[in-house]
Amino acid sequence: MKSNVIKLVQNIAESLHLKPQHSFAGGVHPKQFKRTAHEMIVDCPLPPVLIQPIKQHIGELCEPIVQVGERVLRGQKIAKSQGYLCAPVHASSSGTVIKIDDHIIPHPSGMGLLSIFIEPDGKDEVDESLHPLPNYRSVDAIELRERVRKAGLAGLGGAAFPTFVKLVQDQQHPIETVILNGIECEPWLTNDDQLMVEKAHEIIGGLDIIMHMVEANQAIIAIEDNKPMAIESMQQTLLGMGLEESVRVEVLPTKYPQGGEKQLVEVLTGKEIPAGRLPIHIGVLSQNVGTSKAIYDAVCLGEALTDRIVTVSGDALPQPMNMRVRLGTPIRFILEQCGLEYLDDIKVIHGGPMMGELLSSVDVPVVKASNGVLAMHKYSVMQAHHEEEPCIRCGDCGDVCPAGLIPNLLAMHCKEEKFDRAEDYKLFDCIECGACSYVCPSHIPLVHYFRFGKGQVAQIRREKDFAEESRVRSEARDARIAKELAEKEEKRRVALERKEARAKAAAEAAATNTISEKPQEPDVVVKTDKPEAES
Amino acid sequence: MIFLSSPHQHGGNSIQLTMFSVIIALVPAAMVSVYLFGWLAVFLLTLCIGGCLITEYLCLRWMNKKTARVWDGSAGLTGLLLALVLPAAVPWWMALFAAVFAIVLGKQLYGGLGYNLFNPALAARVVLLISFPLHMTSWLIPMHAGATLDMYNFTTSLQFFFFGPDAIKQTWDAITMATPLGYVKTELTQGVTVTEALLHYNYSTLHAFIGREAGSLGEGSALALLMGGIWLMARHTISWHIPVSYLFTVALLAWLFNLINPDLYAPPLFHLLAGGLMLCAFFMATDPVSSPSSGIGKLVFGFGCGLLTWVIRTFGNYPEGAMFAVVLMNCAVPLIDYYIRPRVYGHKRRVPLS
C-alpha cells in the first residue's frame, strides 16, 4: 500500500519533470578554462631520461626486475606485481637502465619512491612478448583479463585503479551496463575530449572488448554537452561500427563532479552504489575512455601501457597542448616543450584544479594517473587559497556536496580531532571532489580537513589493529605458558600419585614381610626421586 | 613549502560579498523608513550602524584580532538590521545600548562571527523590549499617515531623539498610534471582532503592502522587504527554504483558524503583511550563523518560526511574535542540525541512531 502510494507520487513527479532526470545531488559549475579544446594531440619527444616509479597505481608496490646497466625495450616489463591489487610497470622506450633509486613522485606529501631511471637510446625498439589478439571474441575472458593485467593497465581517469580487477565476471552480480566515462568534468583538462575526437575507433574497440569480457549487452558512453566534437565523433563511429543498438551516447549537462564514478552511475542508472560497495554490486562497470583505448591497444595490438594523453595547460603556459607523453617523462621537460622555461612565481598542478595536487617540484615524472599538468601563475592559485576565515554556517557546502554530507560540521569535527563524531557524520563517504571548498565564502580548506581526518582515523585504526594483534598474541602466549604449567603440574601430580602408590605398596609389602624380612627403604627413596628429574 | 590541498580554483564567494549583498537588499527598506520617519530614521540608522562598527572595532582590538575584520560587513549589517527593528520612538542612548549589546553580548562573547547562537540584532531588541517596554511599544505616527505636526524635520527630530517628547512640547499620546497588530489585539480583549477592529483602524491591505502603517523602522513596507528578499534568493545569497516555510506556515495557520472563526482569528493576508514578519522571514531567520545548515533543517526551522509567530500573536501577551519566534528557534538550531541531516549517498537511514 505504502510503496504503491510512493510509486504513484514518483510517477506524478516524473511526469511533471519535478525530478531531474539526469542529475545528481549538489554539484557546482566552475569556470571551464578549456584552453586546449580541439588542439590536436601532439607526440612529446623523448626526454633525456625516463623516471619510472615502481608504483603508479592504487594498491601494492611492484618489485624492480631489471639491473642497472641492462638494456630494456619499449614495453618490456621492468617491475613486476607483488600482490593482487597491483599493475606492473613497463619501460616507456628502449634504452639503458642507468639508476634505480628513490625519486620524488606526484603525491601531495612530496614523498619519494623507488624509481627506475632509463636513458633512452632513441631507437624506441619494441618488446614483442605480448602478441596481438585481434580476434578477441574467440579468446577466453580469463586470458583477456590476464592480458590487461600483464599490460600494466590502471584507470587513466586519474584514480589509477588497476583495470583488470574490475573486469571480472561474477555469477552473483552479472554486469548489465558498461559505462564509458568521457565526462571530464575538471576545468582545464581536455585530454579525454581530444582522445574521443581522434581515437574514437580504438575507444569503442576497447569498449567492445570490455563488453565481451563481462558479457554485458548494453553500454553507455557518457559525455558532457561542452564537448560537441567528441559527441559527434563517438556517434559517427558507433554508426560506422554497427554498434548503435547496444551502445548509446548519453549527452549530459555540464556539472562538476559528474565524472565521479558514484555520481555518473547515479545519473545514468538512477541507482546509488551502496556505501562500502562497488559498482559491480548494482550490475554496473565503469571505465574511463582513455582506459578503454589502452585496453584496445593491449589486446588488439599487444602493447603495454607506456604512454598516456596529458593536457598541458594553465594560465602561465605560453603554448598549451594535448600531448601523448611517455610515462616517466619529467614534468619539467614537458613544460619546456610548451615554451615554459622559467618557473619563477609559477605553481604547477598535477591533475585538474579541483582534485589535483600542487607539485613541490617539477622534477616529478608523468605517471599513469597524470591526466593534466597545469602551470598557473602563483597569484591565481593563491586566490583559491585565501586565508581561512570563520565559518558563517551558510550551508552552501552542504548544498553542493554530491555525497549529501554536511561539510562544515564534518570539517569542524576533524579540526577538533573528534574523529568519532566525524565518522558519525560519514567522513568516509566524502569523495574529496572539492565542491565544498570551491563555494565556501570563508575560504575554509574543507577537503584538507577531511584528508587530515581520514589519515588520522586510518592511523588510529592501524594502531588499534596493532594493539588488538598484540593483545591476541600476548593472550596466546599467556595461554601457552598456562598450558605448559598445567602440563607440568599434571606430570608432577601423576608422579606423586605413583610415588604414593609405590610407597603404599612397599608399606603393604613390608607389613606382610615384617616378620620374615626387613623392608628395603633406600631403594624406594631412589625410585621416587626419578620422575622429578625427568620433568 | 606550505602544503595546500585541492581544490585550486575558487568560486569567488566571500563573507564580505555575502554581507554586502544583504545590506544592499535592505536598502529599499531603509529608504522606506526614511520616507516614513524622516530625519529620525536617519539618526537611528547612523547611530546603530556607527555604534556597531565602533564596538566591533574595539572588541577586535581588545581581543588582539585583526581589526580589518570590521569591514567584513557583518557588524554593519547587524547595525542596519538593529535600526530597522527598532521603533522610531527610542532615544539615542537606548539605541546605542542596543548596538553595544548586540556586538558584545550578542556576538563577540560567543567567539565572534560564526559562533553566536542568537541573531545579535534580535537578541538586542528582545533585551530592549523587556527592559524598556514603554519606549519599545510606542509607535510614532509616520510622516505620511496623518502625522499632523512637523516633527520629522531636522531640528525637531534631533531634539526628540536626544531629549524625548518633552523637548518638543508633546505628549506620547499625541504623537503615537497603535500598530494594526496591537490595535486588533486590544480590541479583541474588549469583545470586538477582528473585522470590526480592522474597520475602526481604517486598515488597508494596500497600505500595509506598500508601507504606510505604524511600526518599527523597517517594517513599514512589505513590498520593499519582498524586493530585497527575492533578489537575495535569486542570487542564492539566502536559500528559499526558510522564508517560504516560515511565511507558508503562518499563512496556513491563519487561514485555517480564520476559516473556523473569522471573528477571533485574523485573516492570512493581514498576518503576512503585519508587523515584523516579512523582515524576520527574509532577513532575520535567514541569518546563516543562527539558522540550520541543511535544507531540510531550514524547512523545519522556518516551520517552527511560523508556528511560534502565529501562536504568540494569537494567544500571547505581546501583539507581535516574529522576533521571539526567531530567537526561540535559534536555540533549537544545534538540535535541528544534529538530528536532521540530509541522507548521505549510498546510505539508507536519514537520522542517526545515536
The pLDDT of residue A114 is above 80: yes
Interstrand relation of A218-224 and A177-182 (parallel, antiparallel or unpaired): parallel
Closest residue by Cα to residue B329 from B124, B121, B118, B120: B118
- The pairing of strands A284-288 and A177-182 is parallel
- State which H helix or E strand residue A62 sits in: strand A62-64
A269 and A284 Cβ atoms separated by less than 8 Å = yes
Cross-chain residue pair B8–A396, CB shorter than 8 Å: no
Contacts of A408 in chain B (CB under 8 A): 293
pLDDT given for residue B317 in this prediction: 86
DSSP-derived 3-state class of residue A48: coil
CA angle (B91 as vertex; B317, B51 as ends), nearest 5: 105
Averaged pLDDT for residues A64-85? 92
pLDDT above 50 for A534 = no
- B180 in Cβ contact with B201 (< 8 Å): yes
The dihedral of CA A342, A348, A352, A353: what is its sign? Answer: negative
- What is the arrangement of strands in the sheet containing A41-43, beginning at the earlier edge strand? A41-43, A321-326, A307-313, A372-377, A346-350, A357-358
Rounded Cα distance, A385 and B7, in Å: 9
- HSE at residue A370, side-chain half, CA atoms within 13 A, is 36
| Inter-helix orientation angle A200-214/A289-300, to 10° | 80
Interchain pair B293, A409: CB under 8 A: yes
Give pLDDT, residue B354: 45
Provide the 8-state DSSP code for A114.
E
B14: contact with A, CB 8 A cutoff:
yes
For residues A210 and A287, the answer to whether their CB atoms sit within 8 Å is yes
Interface contact flag, A358 B4, Cβ < 8 Å: yes
- List residues bridging with A50 in a β-sheet: A118
pLDDT value of position A515: 58
Output the nine-digit C-alpha cell for A209.
572488448
Whole-number Å distance between alpha carbons of A118 and B198: 91
Q: Which is nearest to A30 in space by CA: A353, A303, A473?
A: A353
B11–A438 C-beta distance less than 8 A: yes
Confidence of residue A374 (pLDDT cuts 50, 70, 90): very high
Confidence bin at A535 (pLDDT 50/70/90): very low
Give me the torsion for CA of A427, A433, A436, A441, rounded to 10°: 140
Taking CB atoms and an 8 Å cutoff, what residues of chain A touch B17? 441
Contact A452, A419 (CB under 8 A): no
Q: How far A354 CA sits from the closest chain B CA (Å)?
A: 4
Return the amino acid letter for B48.
Answer: C
pLDDT of residue A17: 46
For residues A14-27, b (16+ Cβ closer than 10 Å) or e, as one string?
eeeeeeeeeebbbb
In this predicted structure, what is the pLDDT of residue A20?
52
Enter the DSSP assignment of A80: E
Shortest CA gap A440–chain B (Å): 7
Model pLDDT for residues A338-364, shown as the tens digit of each residue: 998 888 899 999 999 999 999 988 999
User: Cα separations (Å) of A288 from A89, A181, A195, A282, A355?
Assistant: 20, 5, 11, 18, 17
Residue A90 in contact with residue A326, Cβ under 8 Å? no
| Nearest-CB residue to A398 (from B74, B289, B342) | B342
- The yes-or-no verdict on residue A258 having pLDDT over 50 is yes
Q: Supply the pLDDT for residue A430.
A: 93
**Alpha helix locations (H) across A242-350?**
261-269, 289-300, 331-337
B-contacting residues of A 42-101, CB under 8 Å? none
Q: What is the DSSP letter of A91?
A: -
User: Does A530 have pLDDT greater than 50?
Assistant: no
Look at residue A518 in the predicted model and tell me its pLDDT: 52
Say if residue A525's pLDDT is above 60.
no
The pLDDT tens digits of the residues spanning A148-179 come to 999 999 999 888 899 999 888 888 888 999 99
In three-state secondary structure terms, A163 is helix
Q: What average pLDDT score do residues B101-118 get?
A: 93
Contact A321, A44 (CB under 8 A): no
Chain A, window 160-199: residues with a beta carbon less than 8 angstroms from a chain B beta carbon:
187
Residue with cell 524635520: B153
CB distance A439–B11 less than 8 Å? yes
User: Residue B269's beta-bridge partner residues?
Assistant: none
Name which of A176, A185, A200, A355 is nearest A279 in CA terms: A176
Cβ of A405 within 8 Å of Cβ of B112? The answer is no
- The amino acid that residue B226 corresponds to is L
Would you say A243 and A271 are in contact if contact means Cβ atoms under 8 Å apart?
A: no
Count Cβ atoms within 10 A of the Cβ of residue A160 and give its class: 0-12 exposed, 13-18 middle, 19 or more buried: buried
- Between chains, do B344 and A403 touch, taking CB under 8 Å as contact? yes
Q: Provide mean pLDDT across the span B20-30.
A: 95
pLDDT band at A6 (very low <50, low <70, confident <90, very high): low
pLDDT band at residue A11, thresholds of 50, 70 and 90? Answer: low
What is the 3-class SS of chain B, one letter each residue?
CCCCCCCCCCCCCCHHHHHHHHHHHHHHHHHHHHHHHHHHHHHHHHHHHHHHHHHHHHHHHHCCCCHHHHHHCHHHHHHHHHHHHCECCCCHHHHHHHHHHHHHCCCHHHCCCCCCCCCHHHHHHHHHHHHCHHHHCCEECCCCCCCCCCCCCHHHHHHHHHHCHHHHCCCHHHHEECCHHHHHHHHHHCCCCHHHHHHHHCCCHHHHHHCCCCCEHHHCCHHHHHHHHHHHHHCCCCCCHHHHHHHHHHHHHHHHHHHHCCCCCCCHHHHHHCCCHHHHHHHHCCCCCCCCCCHHHHHHHHHHHHHHHHHHHHHCCCCCCHHHHHHHHHHHHHHHHHHCCCCCCCCCCCCCCC
Cα A156 to chain centroid, rounded: 11
CA distance A88 to A80: 5
User: How far apart (Å, rounded) are the C-alpha atoms in residues A502 and B317?
Assistant: 104
Q: Can you tell me the distance from the alpha carbon of A9 to that of A6, in angstroms, rounded to the nearest whole number?
A: 5
B147-155 average pLDDT score: 74
Q: Is the dihedral of CA A307, A308, A309, A315 positive or negative?
A: negative
- Can you give the pLDDT at residue B191? 85
Q: Chain B window 64-83: which residues touch A at a Cβ cutoff of 8 Å?
A: 72, 74
B329 within 8 A of B305, measured Cβ to Cβ:
yes
Rounded Cα–Cα distance for residues A358 and B143 (Å): 62
Which 3 state secondary structure label does DSSP give A287? strand
pLDDT of residue A196: 95
- Judged by CB atoms closer than 8 Å, whether chains meet at A353 and B7 is answered as yes
Distance of CA B74 to the CA centre of its chain: 15
Would you place residue B346 in the very low, low, confident or very high pLDDT band (cuts 50, 70, 90)? Answer: confident
Contact A390 B114 (CB under 8 A): yes
- Judged against a pLDDT cut of 90, whether residue A310 lies above it is answered with yes
pLDDT bucket at B258, cuts 50 / 70 / 90: very high
Helix/strand/coil for A305: coil
Cα B53 to Cα A21, A39, A204, B327: the distances in Å are: 49, 54, 64, 23
* C-alpha atoms less than 13 angstroms from C-alpha of B256 in its C-beta half-sphere: 8
A108 touches B: beta carbon within 8 Å: yes
B chain contacts of residue A385, beta-carbon cutoff 8 Å:
4, 8
**pLDDT score of B174:** 81
Note which residues in 256-315 of chain B have CB less than 8 A from chain A: 288-289, 291-295, 298
State the pLDDT at residue A78.
Answer: 93
pLDDT tens digits for B160-219? 888 888 888 888 888 888 888 888 888 888 888 888 888 888 888 888 888 777 889 988
The answer to whether A390 faces chain B, any CB pair under 8 Å, is yes
Hey, CA dihedral for A406, A412, A415, A418, is it positive or negative?
negative
The answer for residues whose C-beta is within 8 angstroms of residue A173's C-beta and 6 or more apart is: A280, A281, A282, A283
In angstroms, the CA A432 to CA A435 distance is 8
**Element housing A348 (H / E):** strand A346-350
Q: Is the sign of the CA dihedral A367, A371, A375, A376 positive or negative?
A: negative
Query: Taking Cα atoms as reference points, which of A214, A203, A72, A75 lies closest to residue A151?
Result: A75
Set of chain A residues whose Cβ sits within 8 Å of the Cβ of B115: 390
Nearest to A445 among B5, B15, B17 (CB): B5
Chain mean position to CA A269 = 23
pLDDT digits (tens, 9 = 90+) for A409-451: 899 999 999 999 899 889 999 999 999 999 999 999 999 999 9
Closest CA to B274 of B330, B203, B195: B203
Per-residue cell: A276? 562500502
pLDDT (tens digit per residue) in A18-72: 445 668 888 999 999 998 988 899 999 999 999 999 999 888 889 999 999 999 9
Overall size of chain A counted in residues: 535
- Interface check for B62 against chain A (CB to CB < 8 A): the answer is no
Within 13 Å, how many C-alpha atoms sit on residue B246's CB side? 30
Band (B147; pLDDT cuts 50, 70, 90): low
Interface membership of B9 toward A (CB under 8 Å): yes
A406:B294 CB<8 A: yes
ipTM, two decimals, is: 0.87
